[in-house]
A and B are shown apart, each in its own frame.
Chain A
Amino acid sequence: MSYFLHLLILLEIYLVVAASLNLLVGHAGLLQVAHAAYFGLGAYTSSLLMTELGVGFLPAVAGAGVAGGALSLLVSLPAWRFRGDAFVMMSLAVQVALFAIFYNWVDLTGGPFGLSGIPKPVTWGIELDTSGSMSAAYGVMVALCIGMLFLLTRSPFGRSLQAVRDDELAARSLGIPARRLKVEAFAVASALVGVAGAMYAAYASYIDPTSFSLDESILMLSMVVVGGTGNLRGPLVGALTLIAIPEVLRFAALPDAFAANLRLLAYGLLLLVLMRLRPQGLAGQYRYE
């Protein structure tokens, strides 16, 4: 039972990750390859707030969200050419820089040794120290995050963002403030993945930089590509599929070194097959051209 609850908690965390990335990739048309870095920023921020300053879980989660959103603003406001290849290169630079900070600022982040002893969440005096209580509490948090994304994407904000994604020139000629909308979408997505990072840190009790590498960013992007973009079903299906693959391989009782490589091969193969047969992903709305 606890194994399935563990999977459920992972699914809840990665659902927020994939849904927030979907806002950027699917709705805003921005290919983000630094989502794991923002995830890590949230994880480190909340862990340090809880361990060093004794802040409670929920304020620490809020702090993680603020850190993610603030970094996105810091990165995006000076970025004049906020589209296409320029955005990809900018996000790649953020990924590399943040990973280097996580890895090398040993006094703050523990460097390669990471941070341990991150306390389990306590909300309103209730300690969430079992998988059952944590999955239930995380379920509420995920529902709030997904509900917020649902409202956003169904609103004039989401419609305008979609218009910008389809044709920025035409959108601007209708009076839609394309640049401002993209900055706002980027801030919302970064704040939400920061929240997911805080949830991950509190669940794992230990974090180190390997969980926030470029490989992880690509895994997150794969969830969105596999599941599909443009709706909320896609990220759910993508997160479910990419969490399930290593678990299924686990039951094959393969040697560890071989299983890790096979997992990557399986991801790659899945992406290739989907690009050929179903470019919009398993449950997505947009086709990748």
Chain B
Amino acid sequence: MEMALNEAARTRGAAASARAMLRDVKIAFGGQTVLDGVTFDLRPGELALLGGENGSGKTVLLNVLSGHLAPDRGSVELQFGERRVDAVRSSPERLARLGLGRLWQDIRLFPSMTVLDNVLAGTAGMLGQNPILAVLALPAVLRQERMARKRAHQNLATVGMADRAQSSCDMLSVGQMKRVAVARLLQMEASLLLLDEPLAGLDADAAEAFSHDLGRLCSKHGKTILVVEHRHDAISRFADRVWKLNHGRLEEIERSHV
């Protein structure tokens, strides 16, 4: 898988580095504070591990970062390469197009589509998404589709799912679905990855391998990653920062204490 990752990076070029800056973010639901003055600066190429009890607001924090939820107070600034955007004022689709990829806790593959089409759905900037260009079937549109398919096959090979390209997604195990979702993120060429419990449903060996790959995505491919995960053991040794949400407040944990 490492060789495949290196190859993928060489063919696509290094992804633009990304950075996430939160300042004094507060959000409450029904009078109950979920995030209380959360501030952090996740720098390019860093892998941060975010822990906390169930209901401590970890997924809410990811929703705020990905533009699905606007905080009551505070600023959320994301940087993709040279471009800085205010996530509070941006739609999730705009942030995704700029380079934010998200792995959902419940995976969220498209159940009626094949594995290959799920990965292809992550391809950004397809001319054929315009219905007029799609009908005209111009050579540029067809060429782009061929290249996207080739890249999707490469990404599926990267996660070890090349032989399941034509399978229906509802025939996969949880672990296989996760791998397809990761291939979809690779297809997006996202530079900032938000991963919500990526190890859930994986056995110890698979979790170890997955964590190792995450570490490599940061160190060798410059991805910036925020992982929400209960299973600290597997990921923490690859993490640059370890955070914990405690009653809505973010605490940084010394690496030596993990």
- A residues bordering B, Cβ < 8 Å? 148, 151-152, 155-160, 162-163, 165-167, 169-178, 181, 184-185, 188, 230, 285-286
Shortest Cβ distance from A151 into B: residue:
B135
A223 to chain B, nearest CB (A): 21
The answer to whether B134 touches A151 (Cβ under 8 A) is yes
**Once bound together, how far apart are the Cα atoms of A166 and B169, in whole Å?**
12
Chain A residue contacts of B102, Cβ below 8 A: 173
Is B111 an interface position by the 8 A CB rule?
yes
The answer to whether A152 touches B113 (Cβ under 8 A) is no
Question: Within B113-172, which residues are at the interface with A (CB < 8 Å)?
Answer: 113, 117, 120-124, 126-131, 134-135, 137, 141, 145, 148
Query: Which of A157, A163, A165, A285 is in CB contact (< 8 Å) with B134?
Result: A157
**Once bound together, how far apart are the Cα atoms of A188 and B135, in whole Å?**
11
**Once bound together, how far apart are the Cα atoms of A175 and B145, in whole Å?**
17
Q: A152-B131, A159-B113 are in contact. List 4 more A-B contacts (CB 8 A).
A: A156-B148, A163-B121, A166-B110, A174-B184
The answer to whether B104 touches A170 (Cβ under 8 A) is yes
The answer to whether B121 touches A157 (Cβ under 8 A) is no
The answer to whether A175 touches B128 (Cβ under 8 A) is no
**Once bound together, how far apart are the Cα atoms of A185 and B179, in whole Å?**
31
Question: Within B97-119, which residues are at the interface with A (CB < 8 Å)?
Answer: 97, 101-102, 104, 108-113, 117
Is B91 an interface position by the 8 A CB rule?
yes
The answer to whether A285 touches B135 (Cβ under 8 A) is no
Chain B residue contacts of A230, Cβ below 8 A: 112
Query: Which of A151, A175, A185, A285 is in CB contact (< 8 Å) with B93?
Result: A175
* Those 8 A-B pairs whose CB atoms lie nearest each other, nearest first: A155-B134, A175-B96, A156-B128, A170-B108, A166-B110, A156-B126, A175-B97, A155-B128
Chain B residue contacts of A171, Cβ below 8 A: 110, 121
**Once bound together, how far apart are the Cα atoms of A187 and B110, in whole Å?**
24
Shortest Cβ distance from A171 into B: residue:
B121
Shortest Cβ distance from B66 into A: residue:
A173
The answer to whether B124 touches A175 (Cβ under 8 A) is yes
Chain A residue contacts of B198, Cβ below 8 A: none
Chain B residue contacts of A167, Cβ below 8 A: 108, 110-111
Is B248 an interface position by the 8 A CB rule?
no
**Once bound together, how far apart are the Cα atoms of A178 and B127, in whole Å?**
16
A106 to chain B, nearest CB (A): 37
| 24 A-B pairs in the complex with CB atoms less than 8 angstroms apart | A148-B135, A155-B129, A155-B134, A155-B135, A156-B128, A156-B129, A156-B145, A159-B121, A160-B126, A163-B121, A166-B111, A166-B112, A172-B91, A172-B92, A172-B96, A173-B66, A173-B101, A174-B122, A175-B93, A175-B94, A175-B124, A177-B93, A178-B93, A181-B129
**Once bound together, how far apart are the Cα atoms of A223 and B125, in whole Å?**
35
Query: Which of A151, A176, A188, A285 is in CB contact (< 8 Å) with B121?
Result: A176
Per-position 1/0 for B68-101, Cβ under 8 A of A? 1000000000000000000000011110110001
B165 to chain A, nearest CB (A): 14
The answer to whether A170 touches B110 (Cβ under 8 A) is yes
The answer to whether A163 touches B113 (Cβ under 8 A) is yes
A128 to chain B, nearest CB (A): 26
A229 to chain B, nearest CB (A): 10
**Once bound together, how far apart are the Cα atoms of A152 and B129, in whole Å?**
9
Chain B residue contacts of A166, Cβ below 8 A: 110-113
The answer to whether B93 touches A158 (Cβ under 8 A) is no
**Once bound together, how far apart are the Cα atoms of A156 and B92, in whole Å?**
20
Chain B residue contacts of A175, Cβ below 8 A: 93-94, 96-97, 122, 124, 188
Query: Which of B92, B111, B128, B148 is in CB contact (< 8 Å) with A157?
Result: B128
**Once bound together, how far apart are the Cα atoms of A152 and B92, in whole Å?**
25
Shortest Cβ distance from B188 into A: residue:
A174
Chain A residue contacts of B145, Cβ below 8 A: 155-156
B255 to chain A, nearest CB (A): 31
The residue among A155, A156, A165, A174 with the most chain B CB atoms within 10 A of its own CB is A174
